[in-house]
């Protein structure tokens, strides 16, 4: 049997994407707390042209977005790294950061404006970099072994080297001996996932026995 998977070429690794999501979430939470407990109740707020009530509302909005981003990134990371979901959240984060940038700058809050400007540029850069991840590459699984994409550090894996292959949430993970693994985002598949995983399990089991005998 032969299974071909179209995968995304990765300029940005999944853990790097998740790290930026967490950074944005923490920034929103941090400035949300500062805005609510500092700007909203001290002399700084009275010196700004921004009304106290509106400032508290924006602080709550920051906290809401920040906690949502952190929660999904930590507890639904497999869902978050799926390319379509990741891009939607990037756009939401960019809109939020640009909005808070304009809000801060317009009310002479220079430090928050600078931070949100840096975050906005970082998110915009990430969007363009992650867009390059959509360049299709091919991973092929067959009786002979696994032909890896041209960007991988290895070009071919024998079944005797493989511990498991998992295809979940648009991501394929190839776990190998020695606690090493390969992982890519999958663009699309034209076969039944259960049949694919059953085939991989049978190949791993068959060649694991051969590996033990050879040893």
- Asked if residues 133 and 170 have their Cβ atoms less than 8 Å apart, the reply is no
Q: Residue 43 — φ and ψ, nearest 5°?
A: -65, -30
Tokens of residue 174, six digits? 């190839």
Tokens of residue 114, six digits? 């600078």
- DSSP character at residue 20: H
Q: How far apart are CA 158 and CA 111, in angstroms?
A: 55
| pLDDT tier at 215, thresholds 50, 70, 90 | very low
Is domain 2-7+135-214 in CATH 2.30.29.30, yes or no?
yes
- Asked if residues 106 and 130 have their Cβ atoms less than 8 Å apart, the reply is no
Q: How far apart are CA 153 and CA 52, in angstroms?
A: 56
Cα dist from 131 to 10, 12, 107, 136, 199, whole Å = 9, 9, 34, 11, 32
pLDDT for 159-207, tens place per residue? 888 988 888 878 888 888 878 888 877 877 778 888 888 888 888 888 8
Annotated domain spans of the chain? 2-7+135-214, 11-133
Q: How far apart are CA 175 and CA 6, in angstroms?
A: 19
Tell me the average pLDDT across 19-44: 80
In sequence order, the β-bridge partners of residue 147 are 140, 156
Q: How far apart are CA 195 and CA 173, in angstroms?
A: 16
Query: Which residue do the tokens 């295809």 mark?
Result: 167
pLDDT for 116-146, tens place per residue? 899 899 888 888 877 755 566 788 898 888 8
Cα dist from 11 to 17, 168, 184, whole Å = 10, 21, 11
Q: How far apart are CA 21 and CA 70, in angstroms?
A: 7
| pLDDT tier at 1, thresholds 50, 70, 90 | confident
SS3 187: strand
């Amino acid at each position: 049997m032969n299974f071909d998977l179209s995968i995304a070429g990765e300029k940005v690794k999944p853990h790097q994407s998740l790290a930026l999501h967490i950074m944005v979430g923490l920034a929103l939470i941090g400035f949300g707390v500062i805005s609510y407990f500092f700007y909203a109740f001290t002399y700084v707020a009275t010196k700004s042209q921004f009304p106290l009530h509106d400032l508290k509302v924006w602080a709550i909005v920051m906290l809401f977005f920040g906690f949502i981003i952190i929660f999904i990134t930590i507890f639904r990371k497999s869902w978050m790294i799926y390319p379509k979901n990741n891009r939607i959240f990037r756009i939401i984060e960019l809109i939020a950061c640009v909005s808070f940038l304009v809000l801060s700058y317009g009310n002479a809050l220079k430090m928050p404006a600078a931070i949100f400007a840096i975050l906005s540029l970082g998110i915009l850069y990430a969007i363009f970099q992650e867009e390059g991840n959509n360049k299709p590459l091919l991973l092929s699984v067959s009786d002979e072994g696994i032909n890896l994409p041209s960007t991988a550090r290895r070009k071919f894996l024998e079944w005797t080297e493989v511990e498991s292959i998992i295809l979940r949430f648009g991501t394929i993970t190839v776990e190998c001996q020695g606690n090493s693994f390969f992982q890519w985002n999958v663009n699309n598949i034209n076969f039944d996932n259960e049949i694919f995983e059953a085939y991989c399990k049978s190949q791993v089991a068959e060649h694991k026995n051969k590996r033990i005998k050879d040893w």
